[in-house]
Amino acid sequence: MDTRVCSRAARSGNLVRKCLIDWTTLPNELVIQIFSYLNNRDRARLSSSCRSWRFLGSSSDLWKSLDLRMYNCDARTANLLASRCSNLRKLRFRGDDVARVLTSLKASNLREISGDLCMSINSDTLCSIAVHHDELEILQLGPEPCERIHDMDLQKIAPFCGNLRKLSLSGIRKVDSVAFDALARWCQNLTDISLHDCVNVDLKSLGKVVSVRFLSVAGTLNFQEDGRFVTYRSNKDKLLITPSTDIFKAVASLFDNTAGDERTVFSNWRTSINVKRNLNEVMNWLERILSLSLQCIAESNSLGSDNFWLDQGVALSVSLAKSLQEDVQEQAAAALGTFVFNDDNETRESVRCAAVIREGGVLQLLHLSKSWREVLQSVAVKALSNLSVNSEVAKAIAEDGGISNIVNLARSTYISVAEHAATVLWNLSAEEHKDAIAEVSGLQALIDLIYKWPTGGDALLESAVAALRNMAVSYKCSMLVIELGGLNALVSVVQRCNHEGVLEEVACALTNIASQKNISKAALRQEVSALEVLIQLTRSPYDAVREAAVDELMNLSIYGEKWVTVAAAGGVQALVALANSCSDASHSLRKKAAFTLCGLSVTKTNSIAIGREGGIAVLAALVQPGAEFYDLMNIFELNGLPSDENPNYSGAAEYLYQPVF
């Protein structure tokens, strides 16, 4: 790679080549500083450009913090990273498999370990983490329940965690005196304990850990609120938060000057200069605990939480999403995207979405989705994908200028970000935002997604194809899909994907494209190709896919006036074969195939083809006594299907008028 950046300037009619910068001459310290602003993947790509940058990219100064949550990290990957992790201080990971290979990183100087989705992490893994990282100061596992960790495990790891300052665990069934005695003895620097959704906590023994300043036991069943807590003289300047607390008012009481809107207490604190150090620590802790609690409440969707969300939960989540702490931003965004659609009541969902819009939640999520941190991007755009199912939220995204940002996210190199962005476009394209999406190259981004993730992305493919399906309802967008090669992309999906939901969306997308009228000759040729793929889907092993394909062929044949093109693409043969192959359990599918053949029989050529393929006997066998028989019979008589002009129709009248029992 040529690391020089050059330009050309016009002077006196001559082009003068001028070298602006030679990147190889930059001081190493400056290059490392530039690298520090990149995420792990971009840093690795840039490091591969030349030998000197490869050396600088491996500098331990760049590897003080490592977030593996967006990556698959097996033992081989961990061994490859080990040479860079000698100075690693902070590590975040996702999943039990990653937890088991952490020791392979050889990061003995780790100070902070945070993991989520660690539901199956066991005693051996936890002890291994503690033994190999004796400098550990912060250990966080959750918010998912760690059901395989027990109080005895805390007793085992305590002697190796003498520097531990913060311990946060979720879902441990029981934490008794044995665990707290060990923590009190060995972890004398422990100031912050968080035991979320730990069913049984021995609160009396917890008092032995005298170093604790911050405590959260949300979800503990053996804890009873004492209404006199705030009146005790010894509890002055202490804060007790429960589900019934006015949280904004309670937090505002920590400050001497509480004039003004209490709901701005967090934003006022962040911009304030003269705040005591102890109060800063309290506020930072409150942000972390409240955001985690909001995420847990949203995921549990407990009965009676509706008033909480409307009264203060939404406003609190939006306020916390503006935090300067990464964890707080992620958890608050996750809460906003989860609580709305964890209920089957559509009216309640609409009210909750309206609250998110009113509090500025949509705009804040769009802002977070622009972060350079890929995990926050993923969480924010996932929240938007959930919320944008609501038409008012979709409208708010468009009005806040979010469509171009969502299209850019669809081009992400991270599959989870691209998937959620495609889902947002799917939701927006169902409304009146089709032209706005097309104007910012949204169609090209959706088509590119189909080629970009050929494997391992069925959910992404379904969202991308569904968005194309919605866009193709518009004549303008449908023609643009053809022009950009969208038909070829849809055909490629059928060739390599066997996912039922994806194939259903492909069938609908192809139909919307094929149903357009007044298309050019070039587009007409591609239309036939689309119909051929649609007909191919009638042979799918999935009943739902076959039914979707037949539904679309029926619409095209009867209502779309595409009799000639459907037949030219092999529709008659496929429909007759489908009707013959259907089992008795697929009577609905057989009937739809029959009505589609009826629609095709409007032309003489198609009628002859139906007879030649054995369609008369097939249709006659499907006729049932009653209204369906007469409707089917009248269609055939109207189209002149039983005709003496075609020798293949011999005996057709007898078939049609003979009741089938």
Confidence of residue 433 (pLDDT cuts 50, 70, 90): very high
105 CB-contact burial (10 Å; exposed 0-12 / middle 13-18 / buried 19+): buried
Residue 274: phi, psi to the nearest 5? -90, 75
- Higher-confidence residue of 10 and 204: namely 204
> Which single residue is written with the structure tokens 């804060």?
239
- pLDDT surpassing 80 at residue 21: no
> Which single residue is written with the structure tokens 């303008």?
476
Contact (CB, 8 A) for 186 and 212: no
- pLDDT surpassing 50 at residue 573: yes
The least confident of 111-125, 387-401, 406-420, 448-462 is 448-462
CB burial of 286-316 (b: ≥16 within 10 Å; e: otherwise) equals: bbbbbbbbbbbbbeeeeeebbebbeebbbbb
pLDDT digits (tens, 9 = 90+) for 99-130: 888 888 989 899 999 999 999 899 999 999 99
Residue 542: phi, psi to the nearest 5? -95, 125
Q: What is the pLDDT of residue 173?
A: 86
pLDDT digits (tens, 9 = 90+) for 600-649: 887 888 888 888 888 777 666 655 554 344 454 444 444 444 444 444 44
Q: What's the chain's average pLDDT? A: 82
Q: What is the pLDDT of residue 623?
A: 56
**CA distance linking residue 547 with residue 589, whole number of Å:** 6
- Whole-model pTM above 0.75? yes
List 22's β-bridge partners, or say none.
Answer: 4
Distance of CA 51 to the CA centre of its chain: 37
For residue 145 the two structure tokens come to 């329940």
The least confident of 150-154, 235-239, 260-264 is 235-239
Longest dimension (CA), the chain: 105
Average pLDDT over residues 397-410: 96
Q: What is the pLDDT of residue 7?
A: 43
> Which single residue is written with the structure tokens 């032309």?
603
Contact (CB, 8 A) for 451 and 418: no
List 200's β-bridge partners, or say none.
Answer: 174
Residue 48 three-state SS: coil
Q: Which helix (H) or strand (E) holds 115?
A: strand 112-116
DSSP per residue over 550-604, as a string? HHHHHIIIIIS--HHHHHHTTHHHHHHHHHHH--GGGHHHHHHHHHHHHHHTTSH
Q: Half-sphere exposure of residue 15, counting CA atoms within 13 Å on the CB side?
A: 4
pLDDT digits (tens, 9 = 90+) for 159-182: 999 999 999 999 998 899 999 999
Residue 50 three-state SS: coil
pLDDT digits (tens, 9 = 90+) for 187-232: 999 999 999 988 889 888 898 999 999 999 888 877 665 544 444 4
Local structure of residue 642 (DSSP, 8 states): S
The least confident of 167-176, 319-328, 473-482, 548-557 is 548-557
Q: What is the pLDDT of residue 651?
A: 37
**CA distance linking residue 345 with residue 348, whole number of Å:** 5
Residue 536 three-state SS: helix
Residue 449: phi, psi to the nearest 5? -60, -35
- pLDDT surpassing 70 at residue 258: no
